[in-house]
Structure 1
Amino acid sequence: MSLTLTSDLVAQYQEQVESEASSSLAMNACWKSDPLDMCLRRNKVVECNHIFTHKVENEGRPVTNQKSSGRCWIFACLNVMRIPFMKACNIDEFEFSQAYLFFWDKIERCNYFLNKMVECAKRGEEVEGRLVSFLLHDPISDGGQWDMLVNLITKYGVMPKKCFSESYSAENSMRMNRILQSKLREYTKDLRAVINKGGDDAAVADMLSTQMGEIYRIVSICLGIPPKTFSWEYYDKSKAYHKVGPITPLEFYNEHVKSAYNVEDKLCLVTDPREKNAYGMAYTVDCLGNMVGGRKTIYNNQPVELLMSLSADSIKSGEAVWFGCEVGKRFAGKQGIQDLEIHDYKSAFGVEVNLGLCKADRLVYGESLMTHAMTFTAVTLNESQTAEKWRVENSWGEDRGEKGYLIMTSEWFREFVFEIVVDKKFVPEEVLSVFSQEPIVLPAWDPMGALARKEPVLLQL
């Protein structure tokens, strides 16, 4: 049976809304205001404070800003990495070059995509089939996952931001991405034509090499070419002069950064409560990666309470935590508050919003997915050592929250955090053993792959 919206039925709806004093008041308020500002609970804003029982010794400075790009995963990683590095160098302020890793991710990601298109063609996937259509919809995006960061850093290293600074297209990546997307779709057609005509592997490899030469030119023009070697000069807190280099970025990572923060010692755990995806199992997402021959993106699925416990253990030991979440739900952006009760939708609209489905059903019905990566730097534990609230380092500049830092309740964590990265020393042996499993492959369009498909941030919440 279907419902037809008759004029009588619409009139009934209108009469009901107009007869409600609360709806009329809300309508007047919403006429000139952001609906989320209208729903904001004043008492929740007032009672928030950035005092925590456990906090990393020194947070990174300055507060970083990814601008209009989807590089949060890179920023969050380098924000975590710089804390122990700054301590080792005895310096007050430092940033690693986010643009440097962004450059190599674009190059590697395009090559990965084109090789996947060759693989799909050889295994008989049709262009208009769901898999290839999905991949062609967004051939290159800004997002990424932890294992992709490990691929980049262990192959290319890192460098100070002063040695490879931001460009317009690093901070505003949409135009560059559109150019790359156009070329990748064109290249896909050309590769499939060669394969369909019976071209051998050598012919495909020759075409790939030519295509990647053009990709390299485009990315270089937009982002600049990173230096093969650099020298970094700095004063430490005692005003003593230091110089590192000339040195390659990979040597810099291996010789000066790795001892403070080794990305290969950090493990990614996720929480996916969907009934079909059991805890204690390893998963991956089809065609999700950024480097041919690189490590796979592996999800070790565990209950959310374990993720909270391990995050708290890491912070208590002085180590910040990289994490992925759905940032926009129950979030007061200007105030920097992530709290399930920060907005009173019920009083304003007469219905609940965001929480009408459980976390598992939100994933199933397209209401939830990972959209942003940030960093935990502090936690408050109650008398029973259960986490109550978290301090979050964001990468949207100093204008949000407390000079760029957000506050998150543990109730919000349970609903909207999906993954964390902690050192393997904090992870129980039975959880570590999951990484030895052959991962179950989720389809390319699964929501657990969403963080790696992020578009540039055009409007921050």
Structure 2
Amino acid sequence: MSDNIVKLKALGIGEAESAWMRESFYSDPKNRLAQNACVKQDFLEVCLDRTVTEKMTHRFNTKIDPEGKPMTNQKNSGRCWIFALLNIIRTPFMKKFNLEEFEFSQSYLFFCDKIERANYYLDAWVEMAKKGEAVDGRLMHHLLQNPSDDGGQWDMLVNLVNKYGLMPRQCFPETFACQQTFKMKRIVNNLLRKDCYILRKMVQDGKTDEEIHTKKSAMLAKIYTVCGICIGVPPENVVWEYYDKDKQYHAIGPITPLEFYRQHVQDIYNIDDKVCIVNDPRPTNPYNKMYTVDYLNNMAGSNIVLYNNQPIEVLRKLAMESIKSNEAVWFGCDVGKHFCRSSGLLDTNAHDFKLLFGADPLLLSKADRLIYGEMFMTHAMTFTGVNLEGEKTLKWRVENSWGDDIGDKGYLIMSDDWFSDFVLEVVVDKKFVPTEILEVNKEKPVVLPAWDPMGSLAQ
């Protein structure tokens, strides 16, 4: 037995140390009381600070009008990034067409993304095989973990809408597999990993580009079949029939989804006019610089995912100005931190973890949380309101996509401190962005590694 193994065994927890920790735990009456409470209910509810929740009411002095109806629900899927965009677009769309309620088809963009993303990764794996990238290297390991991920980033939405357009939900409704995506995603991932193996071998065996392309097309057709069976195949042309608020019947179409976007949506929401601003405070990534993440995309030959890195005060001001102008804001955040699901509260002071556990999880700075794997962009939602005291932001109204049984009929409330700590990116119209910040978008981006936390996907 080597000396290293002996040393590692010597570091194990001994009986005396284990007995000391047990005695220390039960000698504190607070631990016994906390244990009695937490074994019977959610510990997050036990340590919820009532003095904080009482102050954070769902009332706002600045809101967009109208807010979207009905409240959307992504169910058990990672499509929040799609829902958040479509929730934003529908509010001016409802106003334009005098609608009481409306939804765009989330499953349509979801289907398009699944096919495009599969094609993107098949191309990427051929490229990496030609470069001699090791199959057991960190890059390949990262990309093979979940190639058919449900989640996404803002620029992926831009790619999809500009190529495929939009359609009303009634023209391509939800299916079981859209709302319960795990099983379909597992099948597609299985196919993609097998395809990666075959394509790499073809490159190593010296097959021609034409032979590889022919094989890749057959692989993509199989993935299309899986998605078509589970999600449905979107119609090439749609007819949208609807009643307006005055109970008048209208019909638009037959029309392609791309024509529908260009003729009926783009004038009220031009996705090319939107700018994604991120807050990455790590010292290695200075502000006023452009960044991208290696192999982070969903469409071959399209725009890459770009990040204009700015201080959090910039994100806050841009979001505020947008809402004041009656325009909702797409944003990405780490939603699981300091979140009270029952009341829909996002507040860094909502839970007194130190009182319950004797430990404070907020000791790390935002930069250190990104560095040490404590923080990722996990979810995308929509800002629809803000409470202002002059130009000072106090709290934010958030439209989520988890149904109407959370918070205020599905709407969440976010403290301004939570915004600073856990919001990572916002998307606003370029008319709100100062010229000097827009100029940053013209720079050549710094390429971050594929596994960088800023490359995480909102789900």
Q: TM-score, normalised by structure 1?
A: 0.96
Match of 2:384 in 1: 377
Secondary structure of 2:56's aligned partner: coil
Match of 1:187 in 2: 195
8 Å contact kept, 1:320–1:375: yes
Amino acid at match of 2:352: D
Q: Distance in 2 between matches of 1:89 and 1:283?
A: 39
Q: Distance in 2 between matches of 1:138 and 1:122?
A: 22
Match of 1:404 in 2: 410
Q: Distance in 1 between matches of 2:12 and 2:228?
A: 56
Kindly report which structure 2 residues correspond to 1:287-306, keeping only aligned pairs within 5 A, or say none: 287-306=295-314
Amino acid at match of 1:371: T
Match of 1:337 in 2: 345
In the alignment, does 2:371 pair up with 1:364?
yes
Deviation per residue, 1:251-293 (Å, 9 max, x gap): 0000001111111111101000000001000000110000011
Deviation per residue, 1:394-432 (Å, 9 max, x gap): 000001000000000110000000000000000011110
Secondary structure of 2:377's aligned partner: coil
In the alignment, does 2:396 pair up with 1:390?
yes
Amino acid at match of 1:445: W
In the alignment, does 2:33 pair up with 1:25?
yes
8 Å contact kept, 1:71–1:143: yes
Kindly report which structure 2 residues correspond to 1:61-460, keeping only aligned pairs within 5 A, or say none: 61-353=69-361, 355-383=362-390, 385-451=391-457, 454=459
The worse-fitting range, judged by mean Cα deviation, of 44-53 and 209-218 is: 44-53
Secondary structure of 1:451's aligned partner: coil
Tell me the CA shift for residue 192 of structure 1: 0.8
Query: Displaced runs of 4+ in structure 1, greater than 6 A?
Result: none
Match of 1:457 in 2: none
Tell me the CA shift for residue 43 of structure 1: 2.2
Tell me the CA shift for residue 3 of structure 1: 4.5
Deviation per residue, 1:140-190 (Å, 9 max, x gap): 100001110011001000000001000111000111100000000000111
Secondary structure of 2:191's aligned partner: helix
Tell me the CA shift for residue 242 of structure 1: 1.3
Secondary structure of 1:234's aligned partner: strand
8 Å contact kept, 1:97–1:165: yes
Amino acid at match of 2:305: T
Secondary structure of 2:348's aligned partner: coil
Deviation per residue, 1:348-380 (Å, 9 max, x gap): 111112x02110000010000000000000001
8 Å contact kept, 1:379–1:387: yes
Amino acid at match of 1:405: Y
Q: Distance in 1 between matches of 2:162 and 2:44?
A: 42
Secondary structure of 1:419's aligned partner: strand
| Identical-residue share of aligned pairs (%) | 54
Q: Distance in 2 between matches of 1:217 and 1:357?
A: 47
Q: What is the CA RMSD across the aligned residues, in angstroms?
A: 1.1
Amino acid at match of 1:376: F
8 Å contact kept, 1:324–1:451: no
The worse-fitting range, judged by mean Cα deviation, of 41-50 and 196-205 is: 41-50
Tell me the CA shift for residue 8 of structure 1: 1.5
Q: Distance in 2 between matches of 1:387 and 1:101?
A: 34
Tell me the CA shift for residue 38 of structure 1: 1.1
Amino acid at match of 2:386: V
In the alignment, does 2:50 pair up with 1:42?
yes
The worse-fitting range, judged by mean Cα deviation, of 319-328 and 241-250 is: 241-250
Tell me the CA shift for residue 41 of structure 1: 1.3
The worse-fitting range, judged by mean Cα deviation, of 3-12 and 19-28 is: 3-12
Secondary structure of 2:381's aligned partner: strand
Give the unaligned 5+ runs of structure 1. 455-461
Q: Distance in 2 between matches of 1:298 and 1:440?
A: 10
Q: Distance in 2 between matches of 1:53 and 1:310?
A: 18
Tell me the CA shift for residue 45 of structure 1: 2.0
8 Å contact kept, 1:22–1:347: no
The worse-fitting range, judged by mean Cα deviation, of 1-10 and 205-214 is: 1-10
How many pairs does the alignment contain? 451
Amino acid at match of 1:448: M
Match of 2:4 in 1: none
Q: Distance in 2 between matches of 1:328 and 1:154?
A: 32
Deviation per residue, 1:21-53 (Å, 9 max, x gap): 111111111111111111111222222212212
Amino acid at match of 2:111: F
